[in-house]
Amino acid sequence: MKGYARYFGKKMVWFGITFIAAFLLNFILPRLMPGDPVAAITARMAQGQTNAAGVEAIYRQYTELFGTNKSMLEQFIIYVKNVINGDFGFSFSQYPRTVASVLSVSVWWTVILQLPAIIVGWLIGNVLGALAAYRRGGYDKAVMPLSIFVSGLPAFGMAIILLVIFGVRLKWLPTSGGYGFDMIPNWSWAFIRSVILHYILPFFSIVLIVIGGQAIGMRSMSIYELNADYVKYSRFMGIKDNKIIRYVFRNAMLPQVTGLALAIGTMVGGALVAEIVFSYPGLGTTLLSGILGQDYPLISATALIITLMTLIATLALEILYGFIDPRIKAAQSD
- 102 is a contact residue toward another protein (CB under 8 A): no
State how far the Cα of 120 lies from the Cα of 294, in Å rounded to an integer.
36
Angle at 3 between CA 2 and CA 4, to 5 degrees: 90
Q: How far apart are alpha carbons 132 and 16 in whole angstroms? A: 40
- CA neighbor of 38 nearest in space, from 3, 75, 73: 75
Cβ proximity of 88 and 100 under 8 Å? yes
For the chain, the farthest-separated pair of C-alpha atoms sits apart, in whole angstroms, at: 92
Q: Does 129 bind another protein (CB under 8 A)?
A: no
- Between 45 and 276, whose beta carbon lies closer to another protein? 276
Query: Binding residues for another protein, how many (CB under 8 A)?
Result: 60
Residues 260-279 that bind another protein (CB under 8 A): 262, 265-266, 268-270, 272-273, 276-277
**Phi-psi bin for 95: left (phi > 0), alpha (psi -120 to 50), beta?**
beta
Cα(first)–Cα(last) distance of the chain, in Å?
8
From candidates 65, 153, 254, 317, binder to another protein by CB under 8 A: 153
* Residue 161 touching another protein (CB under 8 A): yes
In sequence order, what are the beta bridge partners of 28? none
Q: Which of 3, 4, 18, 329 binds another protein (CB under 8 A)?
A: 18
Stretch 37-76 residues interacting with another protein (CB under 8 A)? none
**d(Cα 248, Cα 133) in Å, to the nearest integer?**
11
Does residue 255 belong to the site contacting another protein (CB under 8 A)? no
205 makes contact with another protein (CB under 8 A): no
List the x/- string, 298-317, binding to another protein by CB under 8 A. -xx--x--xx--xx--x---
Residues that bind another protein (CB under 8 A): 14, 17-18, 21-22, 25-26, 29-35, 136, 145, 148-149, 151-154, 156-157, 160-161, 163-164, 167-168, 175-176, 216, 220, 223-224, 227, 262, 265-266, 268-270, 272-273, 276-277, 287-288, 291-292, 296, 299-300, 303, 306-307, 310-311, 314
